[in-house]
Structure 1
């Protein structure tokens, strides 16, 4: 990534009222969700109680409860959502530089969790450079995945009293 592109991204992010901590937390949550899905897959929920087939004469007979159907639909929808999130992350990762992809992969997506100081030693870069690359990659992923969290401006009344 050239210097000019870096300055354009920093100017863009500095001009927006983005809550850096909340945005980082949202991106890290998404990365953790995708990492778990890729390693384990989706663990489907199962019904704990099977409906009885005896007529119930004590209540409203027109009410239909379909917990198993709702559970099955929820399982299919959740798995489709996780597949879509994984594919979107792959597309967003393609937009990062090679160093940024490597840092994100090592920090969040690998099966074995490594400390940052070990990863930066293996990559041959300083801890400060590693953290700078990681922060810029997270900002770019937040924009690509539309996970930015904006700061709310304080509301003031007409009379200037908060």
Structure 2
């Protein structure tokens, strides 16, 4: 290879374009993730509770001699759901813990407490200007979207996906 080809290859390797993130759609997804977080903290679904109604039926043995009742299925589903719930809660908490102190304070006060509070209450409470608050919150959302893998990328012209 010649020196000019070598330099040309290095330039090509160093120049790459990162996809742009759609801020509005990404914000909606992060807020949705926090809504799911709150729901998981509060809920144990009724559909996984076993039914306690008496019924009599003849159940022929299966070829594998395996027998599972609705109660067993409900218990397994409930345990699976609780495991999924716990993993999701831990995933969100780990992502929030990776934020800076100010970002973490804003996110916890706004989205992770049981009480619904408005943005203006938070920035007044922590003594921050409105502009700084929204700038820090936007940066925190960007980091959380990447950590939770819920970011939405802008479509390039010509992309049909």
TM over 0.5: yes
**Rg larger in structure:** 2
User: For structure 1, which runs of at least 5 residues remain unmatched after alignment?
Assistant: 1-13, 158-162
* Dislocated runs of 4+, deviation >6 Å: none
- In the alignment, what sits opposite 2:131? 128
1:1-162 → structure 2 map (5 Å cutoff): 15-38=18-41, 40-44=42-46, 45-47=48-50, 50=53, 52-55=55-58, 66-153=69-156, 155=158
TM-score, normalising length from structure 2?
0.70
Paired with 1:49 and 1:140, the residues of 2 have a C-alpha distance of: 46
Does the Cα contact within 8 Å between 2:51 and 2:71 map onto a contact in 1? no
- Shift in alpha-carbon separation, 1:156–1:79, aligned structure 2, 3 A: closer
Count of residues in Structure 1 that have an aligned counterpart in Structure 2: 140
Output one character per residue of 1:98-131: Cα deviation in whole Å (capped at 9) or x when no partner: 1100110111011111111111011111112111
User: For structure 2, which runs of at least 5 residues remain unmatched after alignment?
Assistant: 1-16
- Shift in alpha-carbon separation, 1:76–1:152, aligned structure 2, 3 A: farther
Deviation, structure 1 residue 41: 4.8
- Shift in alpha-carbon separation, 1:122–1:17, aligned structure 2, 3 A: same
TM-score, normalising length from structure 1?
0.70
Paired with 2:22 and 2:51, the residues of 1 have a C-alpha distance of: 41
Paired with 1:50 and 1:19, the residues of 2 have a C-alpha distance of: 51
Output one character per residue of 1:130-151: Cα deviation in whole Å (capped at 9) or x when no partner: 1111111011011111111233
Deviates further, 41-50 or 107-116:
41-50
Does the Cα contact within 8 Å between 2:50 and 2:75 map onto a contact in 1? no
Does the Cα contact within 8 Å between 2:95 and 2:147 map onto a contact in 1? yes
Quote the RMSD (CA, aligned, Å): 3.1
- Shift in alpha-carbon separation, 1:156–1:81, aligned structure 2, 3 A: closer
